[in-house]
Amino acid sequence: MVLLFISGLGIGTLGTLIGAGGGWMIVPLLLFGLGFTPQQAVGTSLAVVFLNALSGSIAYMIQGRVLYRMGVAFAVATIPGALLGATLVQYLNSRWFTLLFALLLLALAGLLLRGQTIYGHAHRHPTPEELGSLRSPIMRMGILLSFLVGVISSLFGIGGGIVHVPFLIVILGISVHSATATSHFVLAITSLVGTLVFLRNGQVDLAVAAAMGVGVLLGAQAGARLSLRMRSDPIRRLLAFAVLVFAVGLILRHVIS
């Protein structure tokens, strides 16, 4: 339990700093360290991710970094995707899906490292008008991407942040600090929905979730405060490294299995 608390502390700090939630680190730990089944690992991970996202969101809201209109719209789009993913994970075991997903993450990591965006360019961020209207192309694209992130998050038990933040930065051109804060806000909503589904199925280890949860609650506050002292470039590179590690882990799991 002490080791789980310490792990949660580190995961909460890093996950909140880069807006990725931490599920991408928690699932391998539960699978290979504690011998959980995939369903138990995903369910327990989502519970811990919820606590991380809730704590981090409160800190980011106090800092005034959350784009609320975008966050609510994306969360609403992500919820049905999370429900679909939580259902599919009970039956789906596609190695090819995992490999293709990993290759997509590698491409996103490469763009993050180079500081490139698909929407506009690295120094041109969407205007407040574009972010405030549901009719704008960028918001419509973001809603579609959020639905897909919801599916992916429940399939892999990652909370979605490790995918959502690169999407917001690379594809939509959102600034790094706004992307990490808004992603955490969305995570707090969607991970709760996914957790409730797995909890109903008896696939959440409450003791493990509680031990790691205390750690991530404290770590998330530390990560949010640390982000105030860091410029966007180091955070973007940390995110790129995290995405790269996660993608390589998926590929290795694909090859080994």
Helices 232-256 and 2-18 cross at an angle (nearest 10°) of 120
pLDDT in tens, 124-133: 567 767 776 7
Judged by DSSP in three states, 158 sits in coil
Q: What is the mean pLDDT of residues 210-232?
A: 92
pTM of the model: 0.79
Q: Residues 198, 43: contact at Cβ < 8 Å?
A: yes
132-136 contacts at long range (C-beta below 8 A, 24 or more positions apart): 132/69, 134/73
Asked whether the predicted pLDDT for residue 202 surpasses 60, the reply is yes
Instruction: Kindly state the tokens that stand for 131.
Output: 């972010």
pLDDT of residue 61: 93
- Between 42-51, 107-116, 155-164, 211-220, the lowest mean confidence (pLDDT) is in 155-164
User: CA dist 136 to 25, 70, 155, Å?
Assistant: 35, 11, 29
The candidate with the shortest Cα–Cα distance to 27, out of 17, 14, 40, 16, is 40
Overall domain count for the chain: 1
**Which domain does 111 fall in, by range?**
2-256
pLDDT in tens, 165-192: 888 888 888 888 888 899 889 888 878 8
Residues 30, 38: Cα–Cα separation, whole Å:
9
Per-residue exposure over 221-235, b if at least 16 CB sit within 10 Å of its own CB, e if not: bbbbeebeeeebeeb
pLDDT in tens, 141-150: 889 988 988 8
Residues 213, 25: Cα–Cα separation, whole Å:
14
Task: Give the CA count within 13 Å in the CB-facing half-sphere of 256.
Answer: 6
Per-residue exposure over 135-160, b if at least 16 CB sit within 10 Å of its own CB, e if not: eeebbeebbebbbbbbbbbbbbbbbb
Residues 92, 115: Cα–Cα separation, whole Å:
35
pLDDT-derived band of residue 97, with 50, 70 and 90 as boundaries? Answer: low
pLDDT in tens, 15-27: 888 887 777 788 8
pLDDT-derived band of residue 194, with 50, 70 and 90 as boundaries? Answer: confident
pLDDT-derived band of residue 50, with 50, 70 and 90 as boundaries? Answer: very high
Instruction: Kindly state the tokens that stand for 232.
Output: 């966007």
Q: Residues 112, 241: contact at Cβ < 8 Å?
A: no
